[in-house]
Amino acid sequence: MRVFVAGGTGVVGRRLVPQLVSRGHLVTATTTDPGKLDQVARMGAEGVVMDGLDAASVGQAVAAARPDAVIHQMTAISPTHAGKPDIKHPDRWFALTNRLRTEGTDHLLAAAQAAGASTFVAQGYASWNGDPQGGWVQTEEEPLNPMTGTAAAPGMAAMAHIEEVVLAAGGAVTRYGALYGPGAIDDQVELVRRRQFPLVGRGTGYSSWVHLDDAASATVLAMEQHATGVFNVVDDEPAPASEWLPHLAACAGAKRPRRVPVWLARLLAGDQAVLMMTEGRAFSNAKAKRELGWQLRHPTWREGFRLELTQASAFRQRDEVPS
Ligand SMILES: NC(=O)c1ccc[n+]([C@@H]2O[C@H](COP(=O)([O-])OP(=O)(O)OC[C@H]3O[C@@H](n4cnc5c(N)ncnc54)[C@H](OP(=O)(O)O)[C@@H]3O)[C@@H](O)[C@H]2O)c1
């Protein structure tokens, strides 16, 4: 297929584009930075500079690529685009990402339709954001947590927008769990090593994780099968923070994480961090396995963290695109 990957240079794009190329697809991948066009070419794709917030830029780039399928991986979470991470104010930290998930999705869908692309797959999110009234592990049937009245609400609304418009257009949303793998959690690991990533309360909140290579392979399958609907793309072991965080610290060679009371965490890190660590609801991958035939290379973060973190500087070395 001729495939257009919007956001081909991020942590997901850098694993997704080579997988698409290796399966024989002809890939065009975007960046906002002309200096990264070489990197895209080394992955075997045609690079194009595009601003996802500019309808004309998106329209031109997509039309020129004449794609059969369009994949949306545009976020602006890295310091280059978002500045310093601000966990207490996700509305500020994710302001551009939220625009890419609303306006950016609309521009990309319009351009895909104008170019006659028959398949559309977009990135969603399913880590700790399940319905707090429901069970600890949830399916695609249950509602996501809108985080109403908190600074996380605009981000959740942006995610809901993606799902609404992409599903209405007959596309698929791959809801990724918390991503790990080359380049994806270096900043969190650094905080863990400095003991600045504490457990909140008893750490009872559940999260789902997924390795980048598994997130990419599920996305390829959704595209190749012209899937429609929402798919939780998470690993086999949803787990409470009290389990995954100490394990992450141990794999990183760090001391055990400190514990902080809920009131202090709310003051320092805000509602989202507290909810994630105390009341988070995680997700089941049964539908993606059943309907897409998805098989995970890293079925659990337990082994995945160990593999990624105990091989010296594995993250950086394996993230290099071959020349
Ligand atoms: N589910 C999850 O847990 C999840 C999901 C996504 C990201 N993250 C985390 O977020 C962090 C940063 O992610 P990242 O490294 O992928 O970087 P990022 O800054 O989020 O960028 C992602 C992609 O979007 C592109 N992009 C940014 N602004 C754009 C715009 N205005 N128009 C079009 N494209 C645009 C980037 O292109 P250029 O930078 O080349 O211009 C890049 O290809 C990582 O730690 C990652 O793990 C987590």
Report the separation in Å between the CA atom of 7 and the middle of ligand 1, taken as the mean of its atom positions. 7
Structural domain tally of the chain?
A: 1
DSSP codes joined into one string, 243-281? HHHHHHHHHTTPPPPPEE-HHHHHHHHHHHHHHHHHH-B
Which segments of the chain are extended strands (E)?
2-6, 26-31, 46-49, 69-72, 119-125, 137-138, 172-176, 178-180, 199-200, 206-207, 209-211, 229-233, 239-240, 259-260, 282-283
Residue 323 lies in a domain: no
Residue 79 lies in a domain: yes
Residue 104 lies in a domain: yes
Q: What is the pLDDT of residue 316?
A: 47
- Is 53's C-beta closer than 6 angstroms to any atom of ligand 1? yes
Which residue ranges of the chain lie beneath pLDDT 70?
A: 311-323
Q: What is the pLDDT of residue 310?
A: 83
pLDDT more than 90, % of the chain: 96
Report the separation in Å between the CA atom of 51 and the middle of ligand 1, taken as the mean of its atom positions. 13
- Is 78's C-beta closer than 6 angstroms to any atom of ligand 1? yes
Residue 183 belongs to a domain with what CATH number? 3.40.50.720
Token couple for 78: 């890295």
Residue 137 lies in a domain: yes
Containing structural domain, residue 256: 2-318
Q: What is the pLDDT of residue 318?
A: 52
Residue 110 lies in a domain: yes
